[in-house]
Amino acid sequence: MMNFPVNSYEDPYLPGKYYKVLVPADTMTLDKFPLFNYGMRDKESFLDKNIHNPSSLKRTINPKESSAFYVVILSPITEGASGMLRPGLSLKGQNLFYRIKLLESNKMFCEIYDKEILCGSINLKNLTLQE
């Protein structure tokens, strides 16, 4: 289960600028990668209904299966920021974290921002590791 709180996060590189993280319920698939907005349906409607609400996603992924989903980062930043955004998920115990890194492109991609957001947990109760 992933849960992103309703609050926004300040960008320390651009004081006074905030971003918000949302997770639409749409399922991402490989055939959507080349499409505009990665084929996300009803983006405007989703944002209108969810901009002031916490965002969550609950999925069960069975053994030998995979799942893909969208993560939308909303930011009013239109100038003053440059670089590459590198998001990712990590697991610490059963806690799930969403990490956002910004790498500045004009300095050989040095890291200028790194934010880790606790966004949920994964039930590992029935997990068995195979050799």
Query: What is the pLDDT at residue 129?
Result: 67
Token digits of residue 76: 């009013």
In a domain, 126, yes or no: no
Query: What is the pLDDT at residue 107?
Result: 58
Range of the domain at 63: 2-121
In a domain, 59, yes or no: yes
In a domain, 128, yes or no: no
Q: What does the alpha-carbon distance between residue 98 and residue 86 come to, in Å, rounded to a whole number?
A: 11
Query: What is the pLDDT at residue 109?
Result: 57
In a domain, 129, yes or no: no
Residue 72: name the closest of 49, 92, 90 by CA. 49
pLDDT tens series, the chain, 131 aa: 788 877 787 776 667 877 888 888 888 888 988 888 888 888 888 888 888 888 888 888 887 888 888 888 887 654 555 667 778 888 898 899 988 887 776 656 566 677 888 888 887 776 666 66
Token digits of residue 120: 């949920």
Which ranges of 28-129 does DSSP label H, i.e. alpha helix? 43-50
In a domain, 96, yes or no: yes
In a domain, 64, yes or no: yes
How many domains are there within the chain? 1
